[in-house]
Chain A
């Protein structure tokens, strides 16, 4: 009887076979994983408009870089979703 239980246990162990197909979560481009930087501030003692203008221009650039990154994330998500939704 004990042997029978042992045999049954061994045979039933086959039921714990893992799922044969696994889908790996897709990788995003590494550069897109970098957080957007903080905006630049100016020297508080400055009275020159050109300093402010330079900083503001730099910040606009940062904004558009970051906006582009967000747009790319949206593109990435929609593309990957459409690719992986086809697996059925």
Chain B
């Protein structure tokens, strides 16, 4: 009944209430039909119509209430999602700020260490001459033996 969404809610609600009202009002009409001369034969039809209209009215009222409850729930969730997205952005900004601060500390710290190496370079190299194998072993240790063996694409498969 998606096309009902084109009808304004207030009008829809009023139409449903009018339907229930008509349905319920038809019962006394059916009762009084017996009083009116010649009206007795219409009683079953009026009674049936009253029953059908009343049932339909309450059915629509139930559907309308459910629809409204769902719409309200959707609005609540939308609001929560918007709130969460805002909180997410805020958390990212905080994290980025903290990251930059930590990065700055590390850069400063390692600059100091590198300056100390430069200062003591002559002293360090004077007392020790390395075998060329040291550089080779160092480079082997610095290389990643598992590099390229597992890719993101492999994990996705």
Contact = CB atoms under 8 A, between A and B. Distances in A.
Contacts of B124: 48-50, 53
Among B106, B128, B142, chain A packs the most CB atoms within 10 A around the CB of B142
B130 A49 contact: yes
Given A21-B77, A72-B99, A48 B125 contact: yes
Given A11-B2, A41-B142, A21 B110 contact: no
Interface of B: 1-3, 74, 77-78, 80-81, 84-85, 87-88, 91-92, 95-96, 98-99, 102-103, 106, 110, 113-114, 117, 120-121, 124-125, 128-132, 134-136, 138-139, 142-144, 147
Contacts, number: 127
A21 B120 CA distance: 64
Given A20-B74, A26-B88, A28-B92, A48 B106 contact: no
Contacts of A49: 124-125, 128, 130
Contacts of B129: 47-48
B117 A68 contact: no
Given A14-B3, A38-B144, A52-B130, A21 B81 contact: yes
Contacts of B130: 46-49, 52
11 contacts: A27-B88, A31-B99, A39-B144, A41-B138, A45-B135, A47-B131, A49-B124, A54-B114, A61-B106, A72-B98, A76-B95
Given A38-B144, A50-B125, A57-B113, A29 B95 contact: yes
B135 A46 contact: yes
Interface of B is mostly: helix
